[in-house]
Chain A
Amino acid sequence: LASWVPVVGLEIHAQISSNSKLFSGSQVQFAAPPNSLVSFFDASLPGTLPVLNRRCVEAAVMTGLALNCSINKKSLFDRKHYFYADLPAGYQITQQRVPIAVNGSLSYSLCIDNKMSQMVTKTVRIKQIQLEQDSGKSLHDDTRSQTLVDLNRAGVGLMEVVMEPDLCCGEEAAAAIRELQLILQTLGSSQAVMAEGQLRVDANVSVHHPGDPYGVRTEVKNINSIRFLAKAVDYEIQRQIEELENGGTILNETRAFDSRLGCTVPMRDKEGKQDYRFIPEPNLPPLILYDAKSLPANMNHQQVVNIDWIRERLPDLPSVKRAKLVEQYEILPEHSFTLLNEEGLTEFFENVVKQTQMKPRKVIGWILNDLLSYLKQHSLTVKESPVSSFLLADLLNLLEKKEISAAAAKQVLAELWKGEGKTPLEIVKEKKLELIQDQKELEQICQLVIDGHENEVIMMALR
């Protein structure tokens, strides 16, 4: 069978973490009572005008810089028209002609095999980042034949990140998005929690034979987690290959991922191709950004966004953080990935290291193999861990001082996990897990065992 080249391009919408919306002063808050965070502008009351939120611009600039983009010193806003219940004005304000950032890249890492023992770094190109409004939410109540509209989300700032189709499979997609999520969370420009709709990913998927032009692509939506992203992409690639190998064709359509069935299904047709009748947004002048060179001397720095000022204040990105962890604690790169991937785990690890004499590269094993697997088994976050860093450090100190064996330590950890408030030392005493150091005592025990198993001893002596 001829080989297939899958091509995957991702479109990400990240909700900007800000106090108020992109063009109005109403608050941004998850799960507030319906229609309680709606300003006159959000409700599209006639005569209201957009006013750009400075914090949203800064968030987009930060994100652009972190993704190695060129920041456009002049970018423009446009109106994208379509009728829908969750779009009160009948158009969305977005940046179609000249977005705020272009031509960047995102590096992410994959493990070659499943054991995380070999990691390879890949790059996906970022086409652009644009600022745009989020829509409200509409809920269809088919039994009562009505649609319920909640405009709390209408007008919240979004950064749309468009990636070039450089990915080839679900695993790459998942890894790239995970890294993007970490970057956004590190910057604070978006909380990027997929479950709360702060990070939405659509995947464009196509397949073609090597040397042939790109195939027809489908857009896959309704992906609610990174895990489902990988599944959806892989399923769609498979589906397209099977379809084409059976002599069928791929339609340029939008499909939804059904997480229950683990497959993609065609979405209800949105009247084929939409013509959005873009026009420049006449109520917003071009967005002008400055850098140290172009900033006029008499300009009040409160009135402008200075790209260089933001660049100087960027926090350490995940890749830098990981490199520092590896250097400082002499752990493996794979370890640093796991530490950063789990919310709060790095902090936990560093707290344990601070409180114990055990070398970090030994501590890491306990963190990643023992603590983390317990957490995963019980679906707990690091924050919810019944074993605090203090307790674990305490336990590791006992091990380090050779007061207990490694096996005993694991037993103690299992007890600690019950969260009954006992200290490691108490558990050790309770279960009599102390390591016996006394030579004489050990000899006595050995002698007892030998005396009790005469036959076995003779068998051993004869061999």
Chain B
Amino acid sequence: EGGVLQVSAALKEGQVTPTQLCQRCLALIRSTKFLNAYITVAEETALKQAEESEKRYRRGQPLGVLDGIPISVKDNFNTAGIETTCASNMLKGYISPYNATVVQKLLDQGAVLLGKTNLDEFAMGSGSTDGVFGPVRNPWSYSRQYKEKSASKSHSEDEESNWVITGGSSGGSAAAVSSFTCFAALGSDTGGSTRNPAAHCGVVGLKPTYGLISRHGLIPLVNSMDVPGILTRCVDDAAVVLGLLAGHDPKDSTTIQDTFEPFELPDFTDVSKLTIGIPKEYHAPGLSGEILALWSKAADLFKNAGAKVIEVSLPHTRYSIVCYHVLCTAEVASNMARFDGLEYGHRSDMNESTESMYAATRREGFNDVVRGRILSGNYFLLKQNYENYFIKAQKVRRLIASDFVKVFRSGVDILLTPTTLSDAVPYMEFIKEDNRTRSTQDDILTQAANMAGVPAISVPAALSERGLPVGLQFIGRSLQEKQLLTVAKWFEKQVKFPMIQLEEVKRLDHDILQHQKSASFS
């Protein structure tokens, strides 16, 4: 249950082998199958990678700190030889011939790729409930902490129907990290898709500065806002993974040219030199009283440590959702145009004409959410609408980005905000509203950072009344990940967020212990 650095040390010392680690994670994936966090489990290749790693450790030549560490990857990243579906019928069975740059980097470091995690179809959604492989269940639904709190509710309710969502769209990755089936996972973040599920699943979710990490091989949602996201159990781990992934990629022309210097985070930080900004607009309608109180408590934490904590304003925040809606759907309409059934992916049997084949393929391959966004996007891009919608939205985007610039220029170092409006809602409640409504509500606290391209991180803060995780968000200056993560780590240390108590994990550890005991007797 340790972090990457601890396990890495254990591997180096021989306390555990990469194969043991891999097998443990695979066993846990099997016993937590009901979470539906994984779409594809690459058991054979993972064990092979573990074997190779083991050889390196025996020679005393590990590739780096990630060598032998099991990781998982959201199923919208290309993985050569392993199915990449984006949780869509359009790409069911699609085996990509190449690795995304970030996947390649992890493999080059010796990481063990366990499998591809579940998501909302094509990353469109905030619940990880709208993919063709079904919804992801939040591991905390099965935690002792949650069960204890919900025991006081009606017993007649089946535990089955009580489970809560992970948030989205990187819910599978968040659940995988949260349930200990891997040590780190890749997600993606376009409007909050890494931070939102991180907050709901009690893990760390980092959205790096736009252009810092390569998007080559990440199947795009909104090219101008997408970033690969990092999900880990602690802030130090996020820094480690960031250090291995960041940097210019000639295959991605939107990556920053400057060389990136990986960094280690200090164990002790003096926050009294910092100015923490509390943006008043993030006191959004629908923000639960609980989270409001937590946010306030966090502000006090910094104040008591000597930091300057001031209220600031990001006046255009309230326009970010509608602005995002226009720009996102416009880019989606464009990005999805390539799915015509000709070169790859699903192709309809309809063959009366090319056009009818296209129409049937796209109707069969995409779910309602995707089709809805394509239609909206095309509408906004029509010649007669372009000026009023797309251009206008671009201008508003500029204003939103300027809000951040102004605030950071005025002496604020880091912004502190909630990540979500409430803790995770039960699935049955979540699906009462449609995807668009949910996204509109849930993205409000995370979306603006994508508009502006600034880095942001969600750190688990406390458990809610219902025994579910609540995270708080830190937003930093462009390319100042070191400062951002330093502050996040300090906060993490202060709050001492509890570890999830999962029956399945306990059982597995017990079994392993028994096995070891019996082994020592034979």
A residues at B contact (CB < 8 Å): 40, 43-52, 79, 81, 83, 85, 88-91, 145, 147, 149, 275, 277-279, 282-285
B216 contact from A44, A48, A83, A90, Cβ within 8 A? A48
B143 within 8 A of A: no
**Cross-chain contact B100 with A47 (CB below 8 angstroms):** yes
Nearest to B335 among chain A residues (CB) is A46
Residues of B close to A88: CB separation below 8 A: 338, 342-343
Q: How far is the CB of B106 from chain A (nearest CB, A)?
A: 16
B338 contact from A85, A89, A285, Cβ within 8 A? A89
Q: How far is the CB of B293 from chain A (nearest CB, A)?
A: 40
**Cross-chain contact A49 with B251 (CB below 8 angstroms):** yes
B253 within 8 A of A: yes
**Cross-chain contact A278 with B218 (CB below 8 angstroms):** no
Which one, B154-162, B299-307, B378-386, is touching chain A?
B378-386
B331 contact from A44, A149, A282, Cβ within 8 A? A282
B96 contact from A45, A81, A91, Cβ within 8 A? A45
**Cross-chain contact A51 with B251 (CB below 8 angstroms):** yes
Residues of B close to A50: CB separation below 8 A: 253
**Cross-chain contact B98 with A40 (CB below 8 angstroms):** yes
A81-B337, A90-B337 given as contacts; is B251 within 8 A of A277 (CB)?
no
CA separation between A46 and B123, bound complex, in Å? 14
**Cross-chain contact A91 with B334 (CB below 8 angstroms):** yes
B 243-266 to A, binary, CB cutoff 8 A, 1 in contact else 0: 000000011111000000000000
Which one, B219-227, B274-282, B309-317, B417-425, is touching chain A?
B219-227
CB interface residues, B 104-153, toward A, < 8 Å: none
Residues of A close to B340: CB separation below 8 A: 83, 90
Query: Chain B contact residues (Cβ within 8 angstroms of A): what range?
Result: 35 or more
**Cross-chain contact B334 with A49 (CB below 8 angstroms):** no
CB interface residues, B 74-100, toward A, < 8 Å: 77-78, 84, 86, 91, 96-98, 100
Residues of A close to B77: CB separation below 8 A: 47
B430 within 8 A of A: no
**Cross-chain contact B216 with A81 (CB below 8 angstroms):** no
Residues of B close to A278: CB separation below 8 A: 381, 386
CA separation between A44 and B220, bound complex, in Å? 12
**Cross-chain contact A43 with B344 (CB below 8 angstroms):** yes
CA separation between A275 and B379, bound complex, in Å? 11
**Cross-chain contact B217 with A89 (CB below 8 angstroms):** no
B333 within 8 A of A: yes
Residues of A close to B347: CB separation below 8 A: none
Q: Can you give 19 A-B contacts (C-beta < 8 A)?
A: A43-B343, A44-B338, A45-B78, A46-B84, A47-B216, A49-B251, A51-B250, A83-B355, A83-B358, A85-B342, A88-B338, A90-B336, A145-B351, A275-B383, A277-B334, A279-B330, A279-B390, A282-B222, A282-B331
**Cross-chain contact B334 with A47 (CB below 8 angstroms):** no
Q: How far is the CB of B391 from chain A (nearest CB, A)?
A: 10
CA separation between A147 and B356, bound complex, in Å? 14
The 8 closest A-B CB pairs, nearest first, are A90-B337, A277-B381, A282-B223, A282-B224, A44-B338, A46-B219, A47-B217, A89-B338
Residues of B close to A79: CB separation below 8 A: 334
**Cross-chain contact A85 with B354 (CB below 8 angstroms):** yes
Residues of A close to B215: CB separation below 8 A: 49
Residues of B close to A91: CB separation below 8 A: 334, 337
B382 contact from A51, A83, A277, A282, Cβ within 8 A? A277
Residues of A close to B97: CB separation below 8 A: 40, 45
Q: How far is the CB of B250 from chain A (nearest CB, A)?
A: 7
Q: In this complex, which of A40, A48, A88, A284 has the most chain B Cβ atoms within 10 angstroms of its Cβ? A: A48
A83-B340, A85-B354, A282-B223 given as contacts; is B252 within 8 A of A49 (CB)?
yes
B 198-239 to A, binary, CB cutoff 8 A, 1 in contact else 0: 000000000000000001111110111000000000000000
A83-B337, A278-B381 given as contacts; is B343 within 8 A of A45 (CB)?
yes
CB interface residues, B 356-383, toward A, < 8 Å: 358, 378, 381-383
CA separation between A279 and B216, bound complex, in Å? 20
A79-B334, A89-B337, A279-B381 given as contacts; is B342 within 8 A of A49 (CB)?
no
Residues of B close to A81: CB separation below 8 A: 334, 337, 381
CA separation between A145 and B91, bound complex, in Å? 26
Given A45-B97, A147-B354, A277-B382, 7 more A-B residue pairs with CB atoms under 8 Å apart are: A46-B344, A47-B78, A47-B96, A49-B252, A51-B253, A89-B337, A283-B253
Residues of A close to B217: CB separation below 8 A: 47-48
**Cross-chain contact A275 with B354 (CB below 8 angstroms):** no
CB interface residues, B 325-353, toward A, < 8 Å: 330-331, 333-334, 336-340, 342-344, 351
**Cross-chain contact A277 with B378 (CB below 8 angstroms):** yes
**Cross-chain contact B253 with A284 (CB below 8 angstroms):** yes
CA separation between A279 and B343, bound complex, in Å? 24
A40-B98, A89-B337 given as contacts; is B390 within 8 A of A45 (CB)?
no
Residues of B close to A277: CB separation below 8 A: 333-334, 378, 381-383, 386
Nearest to A283 among chain B residues (CB) is B223
Q: How far is the CB of A303 from chain B (nearest CB, A)?
A: 9
Residues of A close to B220: CB separation below 8 A: 46-47
Residues of B close to A83: CB separation below 8 A: 337, 340, 355, 358
CB interface residues, B 371-418, toward A, < 8 Å: 378, 381-383, 386, 390
Residues of A close to B342: CB separation below 8 A: 85, 88, 149
A40-B97, A44-B343, A50-B253 given as contacts; is B338 within 8 A of A279 (CB)?
no
CA separation between A51 and B254, bound complex, in Å? 10
Q: How far is the CB of B382 from chain A (nearest CB, A)?
A: 6
CA separation between A44 and B253, bound complex, in Å? 17
Q: How far is the CB of A90 from chain B (nearest CB, A)?
A: 3
CA separation between A145 and B77, bound complex, in Å? 36
Nearest to A138 among chain B residues (CB) is B354
**Cross-chain contact A285 with B381 (CB below 8 angstroms):** no
Q: In this complex, which of A43, A44, A275, A277 has the most chain B Cβ atoms within 10 angstroms of its Cβ? A: A277
CA separation between A51 and B255, bound complex, in Å? 12
A46 contact from B91, B355, B386, Cβ within 8 A? B91
Residues of A close to B91: CB separation below 8 A: 46
Residues of B close to A285: CB separation below 8 A: 253-254
Residues of B close to A43: CB separation below 8 A: 343-344
Q: How far is the CB of B127 from chain A (nearest CB, A)?
A: 23
Residues of A close to B383: CB separation below 8 A: 275, 277
CA separation between A343 and B174, bound complex, in Å? 67
CA separation between A256 and B378, bound complex, in Å? 30
A83-B355, A147-B354, A278-B386 given as contacts; is B253 within 8 A of A52 (CB)?
yes
Nearest to A35 among chain B residues (CB) is B343
**Cross-chain contact B334 with A279 (CB below 8 angstroms):** yes
Q: How far is the CB of A449 from chain B (nearest CB, A)?
A: 82
Residues of A close to B223: CB separation below 8 A: 282-283
Residues of A close to B330: CB separation below 8 A: 279
Q: How far is the CB of A87 from chain B (nearest CB, A)?
A: 9
Q: How far is the CB of A144 from chain B (nearest CB, A)?
A: 11
Residues of A close to B354: CB separation below 8 A: 85, 147
Q: How far is the CB of B410 from chain A (nearest CB, A)?
A: 29
Residues of A close to B355: CB separation below 8 A: 83
Q: In this complex, which of B78, B100, B342 has the most chain A Cβ atoms within 10 angstroms of its Cβ? A: B342
Nearest to B218 among chain A residues (CB) is A47
Residues of B close to A147: CB separation below 8 A: 354
A277-B333, A283-B223 given as contacts; is B338 within 8 A of A90 (CB)?
yes
Q: How far is the CB of B98 from chain A (nearest CB, A)?
A: 6
**Cross-chain contact B338 with A47 (CB below 8 angstroms):** no
CA separation between A90 and B358, bound complex, in Å? 11
